[in-house]
Structure 1
Amino acid sequence: MGHADTLLAMGGAFVAAALLARVGRRIGLPTIPLFILAGILLGPNTPGYVLVHDPHELEMLSALGLVLLLFYLGLEFHLDDLRAGGRRLLAAGGVYLLLSVGAGLAFGFALGWGTSEALVLAGVIGISSSAIVTKILVDFGRLGSPETKPILGIIVIDDIFLALYLAALQPVLSGADSPAAGALQAAKAFGFLLVLAAVARWGTGIVGRIIATRDNELLVVSFLGAAVLVAGVAEEFGVADAIGAFMVGLVLGSTTSGERIRGLVHPLRDAFGAIFFFAFGLAVDPGDFPTVMVPVLVAVLLTITANLLSGVFTARLYGFGAEPAARIATTLVARGEFALILATMAAAAGLDGRLAPFIAGYVLVLAVLSPLASGRSSLVARIMPLGSREADSTPSGKG
């Protein structure tokens, strides 16, 4: 592939992402499913104009997008938020994970695609999308609503589970030769995570002094270099590169430069994150959708059911009525970036080829359904087995 072709592919991907982001804003949909759809339509697996013939052509940009997505999530993550929530928040998050991940694991084994595939599906179905959930809360003006704190708290617990889950999953997907080799690989991975966690707990002062600078250009080069370097080292230790980036974000977010880094990385995250979703769409063959249509619909129904049950439990725990319960359930049903990260890992590990079209279809359906249902939460509230309470009358924006 020549330099001109490379530039055309990169530039076309960015322009397509920008145009679709504008469309998404106008019609009230999150951009993630639109970015994936652009990749599908402009890729080699659909008729018409092909912008990128080989998905590997955008592999490095896609990897950078993944690193930046998780790095930003680490910047936003605060253990103080979890501690402030107390036992109620732990109970709400624990029940959410138990219902969603449990349903995903049972569904994965019921499909019969394989044990590794079932473990991947547990995460795909079990973990909500922080990006889409946050966008829904902002778009509908619900940041000040009473149910928003438990929603964000559940997302935080999701993120903690994700870090541990990916660290445990990586040795399984890498195909260790024996149980002893797998245990050693897992020990190396968790050891590396413990080192990063220790730095996050006790080393932020030193790291903050090292990275501190008034020059924005130097700060960008420093945090970007740190995120990418640690992501690469994490891969060497058997930890997903995304989790290495997440831990760097966790460390830097607690430094005196954390607020500036959040502002500087935001446009980079959006731009390269769009390429990550676009590149995923390139690898999806719509011709495979009919083979996974039934599993996708079953998984969507399972996810909705688990979220409705979790919404009712959380509402009872916090003393909310039917309307906040419906908002909790419909907002958290979104699936997005984490499912696609797992799809990328599964493809790299050579797992069942049906996983990619299944995950793409599943994410597309729920990423569109969640904001639509959340905007009509009053209709969903009618089926919630909860009475009207004081929290229902609290203003919550458009929803």
Structure 2
Amino acid sequence: MDAATALIEIGAVILGLGLLGAVSARFAISPIPLYLLAGLAFGQGGILPLATSEEFTATGAEIGVILLLFTLGLEYTAPELVGTLRHNAAAGVVDLVLNAAPGVAVALLLGWGPVAAVALGGVTYVTSSGITAKVLADLGWLGNREVPVVLSLLVFEDLTMAVYLPILTALLAGAGFVAGLGTLAVAAATITIILIVALRFGRYVEMFVASPNEEVLLLKALGLTVLVAGVAQALQVSAAVGAFLVGIALSGPLAHTARQVLTPLRDLFAAVFFVFFGLHTDPAALPPMLGIALVLAVVSILTKIATGWWAARRAGISTLGRARAGVALTPRGEFNIVIAGLAVSAGLNTKIGPLAAAYVLVLAVIGPILARSLEPFARWRSRRRSGGMNTAAEPAVTTSDPDPAPGAP
């Protein structure tokens, strides 16, 4: 009976996602907020909690993030990644300082103490790679000139998490910074090995994965990506980083074919990821923290837009591209909840969990809406500036930036 119930629930979830996707397509909006709200309605404390499909949604959510980052990695080669990271290292530091500061300040102002400040700073710092990847794909922004800047910041954040999480875990355990150095060394070594393989031996990875049979290619690419992501996570490195670097190792026609065969799976499991996030948020715990979360969210939107704008400007990107880079960085999601979960599990402060959940939910919903609204707003503003002239005579607001700029990645 449990197996039958699980199948019914899984089928209902997937069918419901399809219906929500149809609604979003009908009204030309991002489906992400609808997926999140659906998870909120059917999760713990919701109107009709799911009973037996939790294991499926948990695993599906992990695979969703992995595939989102893998397909992002397919867009770029290893030399492009290294060059972009080197060029945007300063932007990564600015991102860290600007976006960790609001969380640190709120924790200290509320009297939660320095360890809670370190935890909440991590919550407000890191962008959701999964939601941002989905937004970039949904809006057709992947070919834009600002996207390498956005990706370099996402990778910088994930690499920072590889340093931050061992240190936070040690602090929560009361062991201090020194106890986290061993774990930190393992994480750094893992990242270095994966980078070296992607940079120097990518052609061998391609030879291993390549196949004229699409079914074989699908199984090889999916299996290798999930395997590397799992190994990376076991060694205290983000699974997303591992998946992204596997995508980086593949290039050319093989990357194009891999993207084609994996896109349907990516879309399915990415939708499951967003539902899973909502399922594990208790609606009853959100209202007491909602006011603080909203203030924190507004500040975080401004700091992320400032970060993306500044980084894209340094790369010579046009004004609209700078705005796209900024709004693409605003969503929060998977890492933020993981950090808050670590703090709550350690008994640090029970209020951190609801605050982080409300904060992430607000930005996970508002972020995609901001991104979707940006270009219509730019067209409206252009019409206002031109005094209501015929739109046919106006310069078109395009999705991409065709004009080259010096120093652009």
* Common fold: TM-score over 0.5: yes
Aligned to 1:24: 24
Letter of the 1:74 counterpart: G
- Shift in Å at residue 296 of structure 1? 3.0
Q: 1:211 aligns with which of 209, 212, 223?
A: 209
Structure 2 CA distance, aligned partners of 1:101 and 1:233? 26
Matches within 5 A, 1:190-229: 190-229=188-227
- Shift in Å at residue 209 of structure 1? 2.0
Structure 1 CA distance, aligned partners of 2:314 and 2:178? 43
Structure 1 CA distance, aligned partners of 2:283 and 2:228? 35
- RMSD (CA atoms): 3.6
Letter of the 1:346 counterpart: I
- Shift in Å at residue 186 of structure 1? 0.8
Structure 2 CA distance, aligned partners of 1:128 and 1:303? 16
Matches within 5 A, 1:146-161: 148-149=144-145, 151-161=146-156
Q: Is the 8 A contact 2:84 2:152 kept in 1?
A: no
Aligned to 1:273: 270
Aligned to 1:67: 66
**1:345 aligns to 2:338 (yes or no):** yes
Question: What is the CA deviation profile of residues 122-181 of structure 1, one whole-angstrom value per residue up to 9, with x for unaligned ones?
Answer: 11499982331343355xxx96xxxx41x2232122233133122223313443745333
Aligned to 1:301: 298
Aligned to 2:348: none
Aligned to 1:387: none
Aligned to 2:36: 36
Q: Which runs of 5+ in 1 are unaligned?
A: 385-391
Letter of the 1:341 counterpart: E
Aligned to 2:377: 376
**1:167 aligns to 2:162 (yes or no):** yes
Q: Is the 8 A contact 1:116 1:172 kept in 2?
A: no
Letter of the 1:325 counterpart: T
Structure 2 CA distance, aligned partners of 1:78 and 1:357? 37
- Shift in Å at residue 79 of structure 1? 4.5
**1:282 aligns to 2:279 (yes or no):** yes
Letter of the 2:16 counterpart: A
Structure 2 CA distance, aligned partners of 1:83 and 1:393? 39
Letter of the 1:194 counterpart: T
Q: Is the 8 A contact 1:67 1:242 kept in 2?
A: yes
Q: Which runs of 5+ in 2 are unaligned?
A: 345-351, 386-392, 401-409
TM-score, reference length from structure 2 = 0.79
Structure 2 CA distance, aligned partners of 1:203 and 1:245? 16
Pair 85,121 (structure 1): closer, same or farther in 2 beyond 3 Å: closer
Q: Is the 8 A contact 1:63 1:276 kept in 2?
A: yes
| Aligned residue pair count | 374
Identity %: 25
Q: Is the 8 A contact 2:147 2:325 kept in 1?
A: no
Letter of the 2:373 counterpart: L
Aligned to 1:78: 77
Structure 2 CA distance, aligned partners of 1:128 and 1:6? 27
Question: What is the CA deviation profile of residues 359-382 of structure 1, one whole-angstrom value per residue up to 9, with x for unaligned ones?
Answer: 112211222233224321255679
Q: Is the 8 A contact 1:204 1:255 kept in 2?
A: no
- Shift in Å at residue 192 of structure 1? 0.9
Aligned to 1:130: 133
Classify the secondary structure of the residue corresponding to 2:232.
Answer: helix
Letter of the 1:227 counterpart: T
Q: Is the 8 A contact 1:330 1:371 kept in 2?
A: no
- 306-315 or 6-15, which deviates more: 306-315
TM-score, reference length from structure 1 = 0.80
Letter of the 2:152 counterpart: I
Q: 2:289 aligns with which of 264, 283, 292?
A: 292
- 49-58 or 265-274, which deviates more: 49-58
Q: Is the 8 A contact 2:307 2:326 kept in 1?
A: no
- 309-318 or 225-234, which deviates more: 309-318
**1:248 aligns to 2:246 (yes or no):** yes
- Shift in Å at residue 255 of structure 1? 6.6
Aligned to 2:347: none
Q: Is the 8 A contact 1:220 1:261 kept in 2?
A: yes
Structure 1 CA distance, aligned partners of 2:268 and 2:166? 31
Classify the secondary structure of the residue corresponding to 1:280.
Answer: helix
Classify the secondary structure of the residue corresponding to 1:396.
Answer: coil
Pair 85,393 (structure 1): closer, same or farther in 2 beyond 3 Å: farther
Classify the secondary structure of the residue corresponding to 1:76.
Answer: coil
- Shift in Å at residue 356 of structure 1? 2.2
- 375-384 or 174-183, which deviates more: 375-384
**1:325 aligns to 2:291 (yes or no):** no
Q: Is the 8 A contact 1:128 1:155 kept in 2?
A: no
Question: What is the CA deviation profile of residues 241-293 of structure 1, one whole-angstrom value per residue up to 9, with x for unaligned ones?
Answer: 22222222222x23763221111111111101110111111011222332232
Q: Is the 8 A contact 1:61 1:272 kept in 2?
A: yes
**1:5 aligns to 2:8 (yes or no):** no
Structure 1 CA distance, aligned partners of 2:21 and 2:375? 20
- Shift in Å at residue 94 of structure 1? 4.2
Pair 202,333 (structure 1): closer, same or farther in 2 beyond 3 Å: same
Letter of the 2:270 counterpart: G
Pair 85,69 (structure 1): closer, same or farther in 2 beyond 3 Å: closer
Aligned to 1:258: 255
Aligned to 2:405: none
